Amino acid sequence: MAIDVRIPTVLRKHTDGEAKVSGEGSTLAELVDDLDDRHAGLRDALVGMDGQLHRFINVYLNDEDVRFLGGIQTPLRDGDTVSILPAVAGG
Amino acid sequence: MAVTRAEIHGRIDLDRRTFDALVAHARSDAPYEVCGLLAFSGDRADAFYPIPNADRSMTSYTMDREAMHKPYLKIDQSPNLGLGIFHSHTHTEAFPSPTDVEQAGFNPQAVFLIASLQDPEDPVLRAFDIVDGKITERTVFLDGAEAPAGKR
């Protein structure tokens, strides 16, 4: 269950500067746990105390926003690409 | 009109076409704020991607998540490209608001471009770095000359 993961600049402090990493999991939640084992701190950066994705983090499965799929429970398949981006907002 | 200043550190280079595209985009949905992404090679803006403002607000913007995905990813995954984040202020000066500074923490690598339509006849474009809450300004050069819109 290898999943390719794209890490944004703001989170590369957790991945020794790597922009692309890989992880495993049959759901996004499992992938996040696996990534956190490999790259400490990623889970807290992505998921809140309520177990849901932070609102200021955007996660895409291939080209789709996971909020329109299954959120943190979105199923993953071998070969999928998950990209993580920070929200861009201001006033 | 009052102008808030920050320490000058560095520059950005735009061509006339990109500058005109930013101003046209800012005017396109006034009085609502607009937003978009830019790809930089060094200090030079190479491409502009208008992104819908999901807030459609006069006082805030949030980039549409689907629309920002591909351009942001392309820029952020390329070691040769830098990220520019553009938005408009329709009623205030072209200087980062407290919300801009707070939100900049999620994109600390970006250069922030702000167009002000406070004077609709004389749009002003300024550019900033915002790192750890500290604002520094970059001089805007347009076709190689210091831009009137970026004048001090």
pLDDT band, residue B152 (cuts 50/70/90): very low
Task: Return the pLDDT at B151.
Answer: 45
d(CA B134, CA B40): 21
Q: Is the per-residue pLDDT at B149 higher than 70?
A: no
**B33 Cβ neighbours under 8 A, 6+ residues apart:** B53, B55, B57, B58, B59, B60, B61, B87, B88, B89, B90
d(CA B77, CA A85): 11
In this complex, the residue of A8, A56, A67 whose CB is nearest that of residue B76 is A8
CB B86 within 8 A of CB A90: no
What's the complex ipTM? 0.95
Taking an 8 Å cut-off on Cβ atoms, the answer to whether B59 and A91 are in contact is yes
d(CA B93, CA B88): 9
The first and second tokens of residue B151, run together, are: 């004048």
In this complex, the residue of B51, B70, B108 whose CB is nearest that of residue A10 is B108
In this complex, the residue of A6, A63, A87 whose CB is nearest that of residue B106 is A87
* Coil, strand or helix at B139: strand
Residues of B in contact with A83 (CB under 8 A): 69, 73
List, in order of start, the domains of chain A with CATH numbers. 2-86 (3.10.20.30)
Q: What is the mean pLDDT of residues A67-79?
A: 97
* Domains in chain B: boundaries: 8-138
Query: pLDDT of A7-51, one tens digit each?
Result: 999 999 999 999 999 999 999 999 999 999 999 999 999 999 999
Residues of A in contact with B99 (CB under 8 A): 89-91
Residues of B in contact with A91 (CB under 8 A): 59-61, 97-100, 103
State the DSSP code for A10. G
State the DSSP code for A8. -
Residues β-bridged to residue B71: none
d(CA B94, CA B59): 13
CB A11 within 8 A of CB A58: no
CATH superfamily, domain at B8-138: Cytidine Deaminase, domain 2 (3.40.140.10)
